[in-house]
Homo-oligomer: A and B are copies of this chain.
Amino acid sequence: MVAGAQVAGDAEEVWSQAEIVLKVKEPIESEYPFLREQQILFTYLHLAADPALTEALVESGATGLAYETVVDDAGRLPLLAPMSEIAGRLSAQAAADFLLDPVGGRGLLIGGVAGVAPARVTVLGGGVVGVHAARIACGMGAEVTVLDRSLPRLRELDELFAGRAKVIASSAAQIDEQLQRSDAVIGAVLIPGAAAPHLVTRDELALLPSRAVLIDVAIDQGGCFETSHPTTHADPVFEVDDVLHYCVTNMPGAVPRTATLALTNATLPYVREIANAGLDAAIEVDRGLAGGVNVRDGQVLCEPVLVALSASGAGL
């Protein structure tokens, strides 16, 4: 039986009956006692940073599948992708918001109005995040430029935007040229499994017009601007050298309804396969699912988690 996390009246009962428990976030401490043998917990786990949860999983004898380490045939992370799409779309909205005057922005309407030029938005990176950011920024009427280093990708973007956005090969010189005429810059460069590169240094902030805004969508991987540091939805921006920085971690957290549905669309095929055929058979069919098995029947299988735990001194 598959029971969702859309908690029924009694959480304990759900946990006790469910063979597979699907969640959006890791279990909270009060849920640890519900974990049990033969049970599969499928959610974002981030165990390497959470020895307490790891210990709880190990002791319970449960199996922990982590969304963030499942891979697809092409080595991509299919259960992170929906979050990238959402973050990309939200980043254009955030750019529009922090161009407004009351929050300290340049006082510009992102799309301008008949007779008044629109704001200029530069999107660094034309991958999943970047293309969604650019689509929404175009939809809001901005003048949009997308930079990317991959020529095949630039060709796809050129066909997609058909002249509506400029699509230019990225380089350090090109970035500097764009900064000089950008009201907003969206940093959308993510290298899976690595820290994001710093595309804009502190020195380069001086190229931007006063009170321009940087949106750092790569902040969960360290940020792609040198001057970024994580912020929250409650307090999203700070200022460095007269430039606003929007560096909210977990941007999709602002749209839980949309994000939950998007995530479920991505996880459901895996869940269906596991529920129908069992975990072993499901892994047989889709080897990338194996990457998700962080803990199997109480045993830690994931190397980075083991490393992190031994470093933390946890006696597992």
Contact = CB atoms under 8 A, between A and B. Distances in A.
Interface of A: 78, 82, 85-86, 89-90, 93, 96-97, 99-102, 106-118, 132, 135-136, 138-141, 143, 149, 151, 154-155, 157-160, 162-164, 166-169, 171, 233-234, 253-259, 261-262, 264-266, 268-269
Contacts of A143: 166
A9 to B, nearest CB: 19
B101 A256 contact: yes
A280 B290 CA distance: 35
A116 B164 contact: no
Nearest to A138: B163
A141 B136 contact: yes
Given A108-B257, A136-B111, A258-B109, A154 B265 contact: yes
A168 B115 contact: yes
Given A93-B140, A265-B151, A266-B151, A258 B115 contact: no
Given A90-B109, A99-B255, A114-B158, 11 more contacts: A82-B151, A85-B114, A86-B109, A101-B253, A107-B258, A111-B136, A114-B151, A115-B154, A116-B262, A139-B140, A163-B164
Contacts of A261: 115-116, 169
Number of copies: 6
Contacts of A157: 114
B254 A115 contact: no
Q: Which of A112, A136, A143 has the most CB of B within 10 A?
A: A112
Contacts of A259: 109
Contacts of A234: 102
10 contacts: A85-B155, A97-B97, A106-B257, A107-B258, A111-B163, A115-B154, A117-B166, A138-B163, A139-B141, A169-B261
A96 B106 CA distance: 20
B160 A116 contact: no
Contacts of A257: 106-108
Contact of A96 (B85, B93, B264): B93
Contacts of A258: 107-109, 112-113, 116
A100 B118 CA distance: 25
A139 B111 CA distance: 11
Given A113-B82, A163-B164, A141 B262 contact: no
Contacts of A268: 169, 171
Contacts of A113: 82, 85-86, 89, 132, 158, 258, 262
A164 B166 contact: no
Q: Which 4 A-B pairs have the closest CB atoms?
A: A139-B139, A114-B158, A102-B233, A115-B169
A253 B113 CA distance: 15
